[in-house]
Amino acid sequence: MSGPSPLSAVVETALAPYGLHPRGVARFPDGAGGPLLDDGQAAGVVLLIGNIGGSMWQAFSNWRALEGNRACADPLDHWSKQVIGDLAAKTGATAYFPSDPPYQPFQRWAMSAEGLRASPLGILIHPKFGLWHGYRGALAFAEDIFERQNAPASAPPHPCDACTGRPCLAACPVGAVTVDRFDVAACRQFLASEAGREGCMDKGCLARAACPVGSHYRYPEGQLRFHMKALVPPPD
């Protein structure tokens, strides 16, 4: 197995205090299919950055508790842009963020980088971290400057293929999660009800919680509530 390239090590070390992790490299030979860099060139490579379980929650909460940050709208996006934007400036990368329109295909990049596949909830499932991981940004570079890890003999196992009973599908109180689609309207309607406020809004998505894979990485309660709040659009 080859060791990390110097840039991988720089990125990993810089992200560690924030509880963020490099989450694999998506490659675009000859720039085909990749995003554009700040200088208009096509990117050759994108390094994904994200959280694993509650890894970022303490650092983010500490930042959010500071006087000047308490009233910040979209605080997690703001924090991610500070941390990952700084790193982009230091490494000469173009930074991309998942919530910025036009939406970049973060999930497609992650599928290519780590061989992950989607669960019935639409969230990509990781064989070890289950549904408890997300993406906070990505660094795009012109050249493929990351060392290639030895390719695994086969794609990582997709946990949903071997899942008996698929408990995530049965756990949603309003049947919003099906194999074919995630019914956003039904989910949001339930979240606005009293049962929804006491259930998913307070404890996190019951369908996500029902998945047995990576339960050790389940988000802490504060993080679960934070993400659920973000799922409900503000009243008009």
User: Which 134-193 residues touch ligand B12, going by CB under 6 A?
Assistant: 134-135, 182, 184, 187
Contact window for ligand B12 (CB under 6 A) among 11-19, 32-40, 55-63, 102-110: 102-110
User: Which 142-181 residues touch ligand SF4, going by CB under 6 A?
Assistant: 159-160, 163, 166-168, 172, 174, 176-177
- For residue 26 the two structure tokens come to 């998506």
Cα separation, 133 vs 159, whole angstroms: 15
Per-residue contact flags (x/-) with ligand B12 for residues 58 to 97, judged by CB under 6 A: ----------------------------------------
Q: Does 124 bind ligand SF4 (CB under 6 A)?
A: no
Count H helices and E strands in the chain, helices first.
10, 6
Cα separation, 213 vs 40, whole angstroms: 41
For residue 97, give the DSSP letter.
-
Residues comprising the chain, all counted: 236
For ligand SF4, the closer CB: 52 or 210: 210
User: Which 27-66 residues touch ligand SF4, going by CB under 6 A?
Assistant: none
Enclosing H/E stretch for 49: strand 45-52
